[in-house]
Homo-oligomer: A and B are copies of this chain.
Amino acid sequence: VDAGLMAQAQARLDNKTKPIGSLGRLEEFARRYVAISGSLDPSTAKKAIFTFAADHGVVEEGVSAFPKEVTVQMVFNFLKGGAGINVLANHVGADVLVVDMGIDHDFGDTPGLIGRKVARGTRNMAKGPAMTREEAVTALEAGIELARGCKTDGVAMAGTGEMGIGNTTAASAIIAAFSGKTVADVTHRGTGINDSALAKKITIIEQALAVNRPDPKDPIDVLAKVGGLEIAGIAGLVLGCAANRIPVVVDGFISTAGALIACELCPTVKEYIFAAHESVEIGHRFMLERIGAEPILDLHLRLGEGTGAALAMGLIDAGVKILKEMATFAEAGVAEGEY
């Protein structure tokens, strides 16, 4: 990102009618947004949240509290506007773009759904690779392409979100593969499984890692063997946003696994990411530290879909408005402080 522009943005903020630095992280959001977008007068008008959806073969092992059909049912709920992400995106003035990355359902020509289906879900990672390397690359490229479309369509800020029954299992497997931590240390209850289901989920992830031996030095290998198609789409979107200088707000646990894949592929991508919130899922903190991002919110969210990203977008937007709309000391005729 442009360090010179970042300094210019902070100099402007320091001239606003407030004690220096007193708007804390709002000022950080503003100067980073300027440095990413490349403009001292950046727009935040058009915002889009991409909710990537896909199914997971590993669900047949019984790792989730919800049946696999819920992925499809929730996609229709997104398209009808009844889900959490619809309410929160609308609240902050963002569009919700629902992407079928690999749902095990034939949607035909469903209006509003962005079709990027790579497969009808991943295969069961407990028995072999979730995807081929080619499938993983195709899904990544779909995400990159959607980011390019943001540039074309004038989307100023993008957010990530996801829906996929079983996808906390994939996210935990990805973290374990990169971190070398034990599976138990990075695996939590997802949508709300009980103790015995949690024990089973941990065993299944351990089995998936033993069967597939993903290579942490090869992020696409990790993504293909124990990841998910929606996670690949998120990774691609993050890469594409960085390439197109679009600030990208990464939602919670699963989205951060996608962002982690992107950052492992290309570390400078970190500078383009805003981490929306601190997830309840253990393992999230490790990823945030690896990415070097400090979460904006801590509201104990664990829904996904992009809900945390939507709320964080509202706060980033507020920071940019401080830069653009507040009066300076000179404009307002206010005396400056002596520190």
Interfacial residues, chain A to chain B (CB-CB below 8 A)? 16-26, 65-67, 69-70, 73-74, 76-77, 80, 82-84, 86-88, 90-91, 191-194, 280, 296-303, 307, 311, 314-315, 317-318, 321-322, 325-327, 331-339
Contact = CB atoms under 8 A, between A and B. Distances in A.
Contacts of A76: 332-333
Contacts of A191: 19, 22, 337
Contacts of A82: 17, 326-327, 331-332
12 contacts: A17-B83, A19-B65, A24-B302, A66-B337, A77-B327, A91-B314, A91-B317, A192-B337, A194-B339, A296-B299, A298-B298, A314-B318
Given A192-B19, A326-B84, A67 B24 contact: no
B194 A301 contact: no
Contacts of A24: 280, 299-302
Nearest to A197: B339
B25 A300 contact: yes
Contacts of A74: 17, 332, 334
Contact of A326 (B83, B314, B326): B83
B20 A307 contact: no
Nearest to A333: B73
Contacts of A327: 77, 80, 82-83
Contacts of A22: 191-192, 301-303
Nearest to A73: B334
A161 to B, nearest CB: 13
A110 to B, nearest CB: 15
A194 B339 CA distance: 6
Given A84-B23, A303-B23, A322-B87, A17 B297 contact: no
Contacts of A315: 299, 311
A90 to B, nearest CB: 8
B314 A87 contact: no
Given A192-B20, A299-B315, A77 B337 contact: no
Contacts of A80: 327, 332
A281 to B, nearest CB: 11
A335 to B, nearest CB: 5
Contact of A70 (B296, B297, B335, B339): B335
Contacts of A84: 16-18, 23, 322, 326
Given A25-B300, A83-B326, 4 more contacts: A76-B333, A77-B327, A191-B337, A314-B314
A64 B119 CA distance: 64
